[in-house]
Amino acid sequence: MTHRKWGRLSATQKVDLWSRWKAGKSFHEIGRALGKDHVVIHFLLARRGGMTPAARRRSLRTLTLAEREDISRGIAGGSSLRDIAKHLQRAVSTVSREVARHGGRPQYRANDADQQAWNSALRPKICLLGRGRARFDSTVYPELVCVNRRSGPSAASSHRERFRAEPVEGLIEAGQCRVKAQTG
- The residues spanned by each domain of the chain are 1-55, 65-120, 128-177
Residue 80 pLDDT exceeds 50: yes
Beta bridge partners of 163: 148
Mean pLDDT of 112-126: 85
Confidence of residue 147 (pLDDT cuts 50, 70, 90): very low
Run of H or E residues at 173? strand 172-173
Whether 74 and 98 have beta carbons less than 8 Å apart is answered as: no
Residue 79 pLDDT exceeds 90: yes
Residue 63 pLDDT exceeds 80: yes
Mean pLDDT of the chain: 76
In angstroms, the CA 44 to CA 61 distance is: 32
Mean pLDDT of 160-181: 45
Look at the chain and count its residues. 184
Q: What are phi and psi of 112, to 5 degrees?
A: -65, -40
In angstroms, the CA 136 to CA 146 distance is: 8
Q: What are phi and psi of 149, to 5 degrees?
A: -100, 10
**pTM, entire model:** 0.53
